[in-house]
Amino acid sequence: MRRWNGWGDDTQDYPLPEGAAHFLEEALGPATPPVDAALEDVLATAPPSRLPPHPLIVTDAETRLRHTRGQSFPDWVALRSGRIGPLPDGVAFPTAGEEVRELLRYARDAGARVIPYGGGTSVVGHINPLPGDAPVLTISLARMNHLESLDEASGLARFGAGVTGPDLEAQLRARGFTLGHYPQSFEFSTLGGWIATRSSGQQSLGYGRIERLFSGGVVETPTGTLVLPDFPASAAGPDLREIVLGSEGRLGVITQASVRASRLPQVEAFHGVFLPDWERGREAVRAIAGAGLPLSMLRLSTPGETITTLALAGHDRLIGALERMLALRGVKDEKCMLIIAVTGWEKVARTALREALGLCKEHGGIHVGQTFGKQWHKSRFRTPYLRNTLWERGYGVDTLETAAPWERIPALVTAIESALHSALADVDERVHVFTHLSHVYPHGSSVYTTYIFRLAADPEENLRRWRALKGRASEAIVAGGGTISHQHGVGVDHAPYLAAEKGALGLGAIRALCAYFDPDGLLNPGKLIE
């Protein structure tokens, strides 16, 4: 069963190798986990539902609790401490568009607010009910998860929007296709959620972000049903898919979506390269991205992340041997790990890999084969389970992400990391910070930073620490010319920074769109924009 107050399936763990525990203690000091609230105690505090009864809506406390929070750090503090805040008053699991339309009519008549819910993996407060007098109805798309049709000639697959990553891939792979969209939250996040948050998968370099994969679909709005037809391209005015992408549940409920699938690749391989330092690593990936080679992933770690990854891996002897080999070839303490993935037709993949490795070599890179790449690939959806392990050892962990043109990347990374390093100086706490470039483009790159810090016993103090960290880093992002989000969306946590990016006119246009599709303000109020 899925954990109610942490990440993932409760039969799966990610034990921390002893060397890694020692590494963290050295970096941050020994820690003590805060005391967790028990599920029964939290359920006992659930207030009664304020919704009038409806056959499609369930109102038991446990279902409501399990749909009340996502996966952000404040969500974890709320769930672990039992200070949950408002619960939805009911959760509906419709099976068809007609039922969604019925639920929207019911919500309007009941004066309720509606939160569309995919997999609940939001990390910015997207799906949390906010305090208020109106009852809250969460509409889960979990039962709308089937492959409705597959046009094999065009590679167009239409799904119910509640399909999760593994179910979507399994249904496509059974027919010889793949979507290739692999956010780290793949195990639980859904197609509708990916579209509503403008998600990006780990192999977006090859397959494209969700914007490129989303072909069309159906959105149920309080004003009516918006149908987005499938065209390979169109010059018929503004593209209405663009207003649904990133709409964060504010315009309507996406019930069906078509995606542009690809034939299963002939080959796929993940290779490791070590670059001598951060500057040469950056220049190598910039050159590769600029050359337009058909790779599916380029993921470059800073020296800090490289050291941390090798320490957390726990294979001390293998890593010792690797470090000695690299040192002999001049790649030492400042080394940066790069993972290159090639996916597709064998001949094309072979050529692309050869050219990419050649560009790495020009920048001092040493190719170490597939061992590290394979290891990364094997554990790519397991890594989030480490969050549970760290919390249970007394450490909080969070990530943040942005994107900017290449020219700004070096200063931006330095500014984000130094803002985080010093954010808890007032309580004399250290912060362990590391970064990678997770998605690269010819004209810039995304930046993905992880920070780990010690938890206090008091949930309020943990929130205060997180606000200091998140606030300082977000200010550094805005000042450094980065977007407030490359892939996680806006939700509540990034909303204060949106005006800096969109401007007053832009925000006004978004607000007007929401008002057009949702004149009574039923849908997900307080998220994306006020």
Ligand X SMILES: Cc1cc2nc3c(=O)[nH]c(=O)nc-3n(C[C@H](O)[C@H](O)[C@H](O)COP(=O)(O)OP(=O)(O)OC[C@H]3O[C@@H](n4cnc5c(N)ncnc54)[C@H](O)[C@@H]3O)c2cc1C
Q: Is 132 exposed, middle or buried (0-12, 13-18, 19+ CB in 10 A)?
A: exposed
**Cβ–Cβ < 8 Å for 135, 503:** no
Pick the closer one to ligand X by CB: 444 or 525: 525
Q: Give the nearer residue to ligand X in terms of CB position, either 218 or 366.
A: 218
| Residue 476 interacting with ligand X (CB under 6 A) | no
- For residue 223 the two structure tokens come to 């004003």
| Of the candidates 184, 214, 215, the residue with the CA atom closest to the CA atom of residue 201 | 184
Give CA–CA dist 94/505, Å, rounded. Answer: 37
Nearer to ligand X, 65 or 322 (CB): 65
| Burial grade of 374 (CB within 10 A; 0-12, 13-18, 19 or more) | middle
* Interface pattern 89-118 for ligand X (x via CB under 6 A): --------------------------xxxx
CA pseudo-torsion sign 364, 368, 372, 377 = positive
Could you tell me how many residues of this chain bind ligand X (CB under 6 A)? 37
Q: Which residues contact 317 (CB under 8 A, 6 or more apart)?
A: none
- Kindly state whether residue 122 participates in binding ligand X, applying the rule CB under 6 A: yes
Beta bridge partners of 301: 436
Binding mask 58-87 for ligand X (x = CB under 6 A): ------------xx----------------
Contact map string, positions 428 to 467, toward ligand X, x by CB under 6 A:
----------------------------------------
Asked whether position 119 contacts ligand X by CB under 6 A, the answer is yes
From 189-197, 358-366, 369-377, 467-475, give the range in contact with ligand X by CB under 6 A.
Answer: 189-197
Site residues for ligand X, window 124-143 (CB under 6 A)? 126-127, 141
By CB under 6 A, tell whether 160 contacts ligand X: no
Nearest residue to ligand X on Cβ basis: 193
List 163, 254, 356, 400, residue binding ligand X (CB under 6 A): 254
Q: Indicate the residue among 177 and 381 with the shorter CB distance to ligand X.
A: 381
Residue 21 CB, nearest distance to ligand X (Å)?
21
Applying CB under 6 A, the span of 187-195, 284-292, 317-325, 463-471 interacting with ligand X comes to: 187-195
Task: Note the helical H segments in 179-302.
Answer: 191-197, 204-207, 210-213, 241-244, 278-291
* Secondary structure element (H or E) that encloses residue 397, with its range: strand 395-405
Give the separation between CA 302 and CA 274, rounded to whole angstroms: 11
Among 184, 203, 296, 309, binds ligand X (CB under 6 A): 184
- State yes or no: residue 260 binds ligand X (CB under 6 A): no
Q: What is the DSSP letter of 47?
A: P
**In 223-337, alpha helices (H):** 241-244, 278-291, 303-313, 316-328
Which 362-401 residues touch ligand X, going by CB under 6 A?
384
* Calpha distance 275→281 (Å, rounded): 5
CB-nearer residue toward ligand X: 141 or 359: 141
For residue 247, the tally of other CB atoms under 10 A from its CB is 27
Query: Per CB under 6 A, does 256 bind ligand X?
Result: no
Pairing of strands 177-178, 336-344: unpaired
Pick the piece of the chain touching ligand X (CB under 6 A) from 83-91, 101-109, 282-290, 485-493. 485-493
Q: Is residue 199 part of the contact set for ligand X (CB under 6 A)?
A: yes
Residues that bind ligand X (CB under 6 A): 70-71, 115-123, 126-127, 141, 161, 183-185, 189-190, 192-194, 196-197, 199-200, 248-249, 253-254, 384, 487-489, 524, 527
